Amino acid sequence: MKLQSIRAIVIATILLGLVVARAARAQQPQQRGPSTAEERARAVKVAHELEVDPLAKDAKDNRDWFIQWIVAIPAITVTVCNDYFGTVQKPLRGHSREVVNQMAISSTAFMIEHPDKAKDEQAVATAGLLGSLKAYQSILKQEPDARWPYLDKIVQMRDQGKLDDFVSDTRRKCAQEEEEPDPDTMRAAR
């Protein structure tokens, strides 16, 4: 039970901005139309830049813009499930916030780049997780002490060709949890 409470606090911390913004959007009339081609191009560019250099000088501002943009636009919805990351470290360390948020960012970029696969939840989740792993490995190049053992196992699964099975299993687990939500866990709105 304590593990669930800690997990709920960590998830709440990571996704609070996303949840609050979505809740506010749900209570207010739609204030903007669909995303523009320029915004989508910027989003894809920023997503890939954050994968390559998640600690760049402008990374925080770009990440904040991206998350706010995802919340504001009506046509793209990203499903968020933190089970891909195991037990997120508390207190947050090793840049776990950047790595976890990268999944939503990379998933969105994939949907923009591959609109024919935007409804393929397996492909979207895999692309998002691959983006997170890329960002994680980029962080390790700059800060080797930022190692996250659980992600090291996922990197190993990727390298062994087992990532697709991991994503499938985790998606099933996330879907089950949605059906039977834990009252102590905060979830992002779809």
Helix (H), strand (E) at residue 88: none
**CA-CA distance, 75 to 43, in Å (whole number)?**
14
User: Count of alpha carbons within 13 Å of 179, Cβ hemisphere only?
Assistant: 6
Q: pTM for this structure?
A: 0.77
Judge whether residue 188 has pLDDT over 50: no
Q: What is the pLDDT of residues 138-179, one digit of tens each?
A: 999 999 988 989 999 999 999 999 999 999 999 999 888 776
Distance, in Å, from the CA atom of 57 to the CA atom of 84, rounded to the nearest integer, reads 27
Phi, psi values for residue 181, rounded to 5°: -65, 140
In the chain, where the domains are located: 2-179
**Contacts for 46 with CB less than 8 Å, ≥ 6 apart:** 62, 65, 66, 105
